[in-house]
Every structure is written in structure tokens, then in C-alpha cells.
Amino acid sequence: MDNQSVILAVASPPGSATRGIVRASGADACRVLWNVLDPNCHENAAVRARARGVHVVRLRDPSIPALVIVMPGPASATGEDCAEIHTVGNPFVLERIIAAVIARSDGSARRAHPGEFSVRAVLSGRTPIASVERVAAAIMAETDAQLAAASMLQVNTAEQSSAGDADEVATLLALVEAGIDFTDQEDVVAIARPALEARVRAVRDKIRARCATSAGAESAQRAARVVLTGAPNAGKSSLFNALLQHTRAVESPHRGTTRDTIEHACSLPGGIEVILVDAPGIEDAIHDVDVLMQARAHDAIHRADIILVCQPSGHDQVTHAATSPLIQSAHGLTIHVRTKCDTLGDTGVVDTNGAISTSAHTGAGIAELRAAIARAVSNRAPRNSDEFTLGVARIALLKEAADSLDDMLTINAPELVAAALRAALDRLGEVSGAIPPDDVLGRLFSSFCIGK
């Protein structure tokens, strides 16, 4: 990634507003913004001189007043010079400012890539990766449940636990390096191999256990996907609208009305939110469009957390869709639903086979089905809130640390043992905050009498 250029982006929400922000970051951020300021404004010199603070300026084109906030590095969000232009929140004006900055920068400025400001903050050490995960989870949230999961990532349990593991690994590394560098010193007793292996296994097992309990973190950060499937004309779209409690999908007595998946957030009892998906009916593909429809249905079922297998009431034989190998091989929990129960006078909510009878037109069984889905989601969700404290990136880092400790157990050469411990310490440090080599050396001098 190009880390030398000044990057620019609109940092205010889309659309018109009273104020808008153009943000820049890079070694020449102040200079490139100075190029678009009115040269007759005396505050320009302060911007060019990288003077920290808020400066009242006037833009050159368009000639309008603005504020420039200068934040010299390394004490900035990205660790490098940052500056922002605050002016009228007109999207056209903001884009015009960015274009003017780039045009007058002699090739040193460009538009930022998605997430590039956060990337620079992480690379400079100003922002831990955990904070970036919190931002990413909040950006990707589509429901209140997803926002709640993103907020749970703010718990510091992961950083605290990893800090304890990093402290132990750093101590072990100091002991191993003592045996390498100070073998001629009588007061230095390097750690014995059995004791070293026992302590390494204890740390490794703690890390593995934490990763295992957090295995559901990725799915926990998103709302459960509930897919309605079944044969064509099984009443899926009508049931979809009834569960949403408003019309979203087209209802028709003709087969094949739904030709693509339709998704919508759905609120359930207990404050649970899911993504409800109306999928095309499962049948043998004949025409090209049928192939595409079945591909959409198969993809929806494979991604489903909960599958509602819909079959019209009065069908004594189980439909081909209900026994489809696709549904039977899916990972999602299956709930069987009898639709159109009003057409045959079916008044039972749950039949002898455990299927829930529903009518999208009379509302019969809809409340019971919504409650059943909510229970299934609650049972699926992790019970321990600590499971939300590890995002995907941190799980990967912890697994790499555990793998390095595994490698250390198979190595006998002290130098390679130290290298494996250092690799594990680096990965743990990315989660909890790095422990520099000087700190490891400090542990040596605080623990042993060296250099008499």
C-alpha cells in the first residue's frame, strides 16, 4: 500500500448539511491544503507552518469561508500530519475542494481507499486493531442487534487476557535468552526444559480455549438469517409479508413469482432482530432463468442460520422441496411450517409432526411462528458476552500465537526456541499492546544479578 501520498476523503455523512468536512492525512497534508486557500487570507501562513489549532481561512475556489483544523503528527489520529477543512455541507462543494487539492498537489495527493485512514492509524501504532474492528462492525451493522454486538466488542476482556498471556511469554523469553547470553554467569539459572514446556503449554491452552469460546464471534456480529424455502406457490411470499407485518414481497397465486431472493430486517419478540429472506421455490430447473433462480435459492439456504420449510396445509405427502438433499445438508436449524391453513379449516397451531400451522391472511399461527424463530435465535446466540469481545482479526492473531507456541515445543535449539517465543509475543502484542525488546531485557536485569 502507498503510504507516502497525502490521502483525501469527505469525512462527513453523505448528503447536504450545515457543515461538511474534507479530511487529509500525510506528511504534506498541510501544504496540499494550503494550495487551495485564498492567498490574501493572513491565516494561510499558520496552515502552511503546521501550527496546531483551528484557523479561520477562505477558500480560493469556490471563494467561501472555512475552518482548517491542523493536527501535526505524530500526535494525530493517523500518526502523521492530519488536517481538515470544515465548510458548507454541500456535496458538490466538498467534491470540488478534493478535486482542486489533488489538481494542485503535483501528484502528491490522491483520494483515500476504503478504510485507509484506519490502516494508517494501525500501522503507526496510534490505534489498536481492536478499535478498528469495532469501527468495522458498526459500519457493517444493518440492525439494532448488529449494533449491540458491535458495542460488545468494546469490552476490554480480550486485551486484558492477552496482556496476561503476553506477560508470561515475555518472562519465558527472558529466561530463555538468559540461558543463551549469560551461560558463563553463576547467578543466572536458565529455565529447565520441562518447566519451560509446562508453562508454554499452559499459555497455549488458555489461548486455544479463548479462541474456541469466541468461535461464534463472527456470526454473533451479524443478525441471524432466516430463509423461507419450499416448493413454488407454497405461500412463502405471503408468509414473508405476514412475518414482517407489512407488504414487502409480491404475492401471487401463480408459480415462480419470486425469482430472486428478497431480504428485509425483521423484529421479533424479545427485541431480537433477524434478516428474513424470501427465496425462490425449489424445483427442477428447465429454462435458463430457472437455473439462475435455483442458484439463488441454493445460496440462500447454504447461508441460512434458520430455515423455514414451507408446505401448504392439506398436503399429506411431504413435498420434494421438504426432502431436498439441499435442505437436509444445510447447516441451519430447520423449522417446518404449514401455510394456508385457513383454506382447509386447519385450526391447530402445531400439528402431530411438530410443524407450525399458519395463515398469512387470517394471522393464525403467525405469532407462534415469530416466537419460535425468536427462541431458535436465542438458543443459537452465545450465552457468554465475552464471546463478543474477540473479532475475526484478533482470533486469527491469537491462533497464530498459539501455533508459534506449538512450534516452540518441537524445537530444541535455544535460539530457535527464543525466536518462536518472540513470534508468539509479537502476535499477542498486536492484540493487547506490544512488549518491546527493551522490556524483555528489563525483566532479565530485574530477575538476575548480572554484570557483577
In the 8-state DSSP scheme, what is residue 389?
A: G
241 & 290 share domain: yes
192 & 74 share domain: no
- Is 266 part of any domain? yes
119 & 200 share domain: no
- What pLDDT is stored for residue 72 in this prediction? 93
Q: How far is CA 123 from CA 2, 28, 158, 183, 389, in A?
A: 12, 18, 20, 38, 22
- Is 452 part of any domain? no
Between the CA atoms of 20, 129, 382 and 405, what dihedral angle is there, to the nearest 10 degrees? 170
69 & 188 share domain: no
Which segments of 195-325 are extended strands (E)? 224-230, 262-268, 272-278, 306-312
What are the strands of the beta sheet with 109-111, ordered from one edge? 53-58, 65-71, 82-89, 17-25, 6-10, 109-111
- What pLDDT is stored for residue 437 in this prediction? 53
Give the type of residue at 282.
I
Non-local (6+) Cβ contacts of 183 within 8 A are 190
241 & 366 share domain: yes
pLDDT in tens, 136-166: 767 766 666 566 666 666 555 555 667 778 8
Supply 397's cell numbers.
492473531
CATH number at residue 116: 3.30.1360.120
- Is 373 part of any domain? yes
- What pLDDT is stored for residue 217 in this prediction? 44
372 & 410 share domain: no
The residue segments making up the domain with residue 355 are 224-380
- Is 316 part of any domain? yes
What are the strands of the beta sheet with 224-230, ordered from one edge? 262-268, 272-278, 224-230, 306-312, 333-339, 356-357
For residues 448 and 311, what is the distance between their CA atoms, to the nearest angstrom? 75
271 & 353 share domain: yes
119 & 34 share domain: yes
Note the pTM of the prediction, 2 decimals.
Answer: 0.50
305 & 418 share domain: no
Task: Say if CB 268 and CB 188 are below 8 A apart.
Answer: no
Q: Which of 335, 356, 380 is the last residue of a domain?
A: 380
- What pLDDT is stored for residue 395 in this prediction? 77
For residues 18 and 147, what is the distance between their CA atoms, to the nearest angstrom? 27
Supply 231's cell numbers.
416448493
Query: What count of Cα atoms within 13 Å lies in the side-chain half-sphere of residue 346?
Result: 26
- Is 140 part of any domain? no
- Is 150 part of any domain? no
Q: Which of 71, 104, 123 is the last residue of a domain?
A: 123
For residues 312 and 183, what is the distance between their CA atoms, to the nearest angstrom? 80
Q: How far is CA 20 from CA 17, 37, 63, 65, 88, in A?
A: 7, 16, 16, 12, 5
Q: Which of 68, 97, 123 is the last residue of a domain?
A: 123
Regions in the chain scoring below 70 on pLDDT? 1-2, 129-130, 133, 137, 140-161, 181-190, 213-222, 248-260, 283-291, 293, 314-331, 343-353, 380-393, 432-452
CATH number at residue 235: 3.40.50.300
269 & 346 share domain: yes
Concatenate the DSSP letters of all residues of 80-134 into one string.
S-EEEEEEEE-HHHHHHHHHHHHHTTTTSEEEPPTTHHHHHHHHTTSS-HHHHHH
- Is 139 part of any domain? no
**Secondary structure of residue 426 in the 3-state scheme:** helix
CATH number at residue 161: 1.20.120.430
Q: How far is CA 424 from CA 56, 132, 341, 427, 430, in A?
A: 49, 22, 60, 5, 10
Radius of gyration from C-alpha coordinates of the chain: 30
Question: Which of 72, 71, 60, 67 minimizes the C-alpha distance to 97?
Answer: 60
- Is 117 part of any domain? yes
352 & 395 share domain: no
Residue 204 CB neighbours (<10 A): 21
Between the CA atoms of 13, 17, 19 and 25, what dihedral angle is there, to the nearest 10 degrees? 20
Q: How many structural domains is the chain composed of?
A: 3
Task: Say if CB 339 and CB 358 are below 8 A apart.
Answer: yes
325 & 422 share domain: no
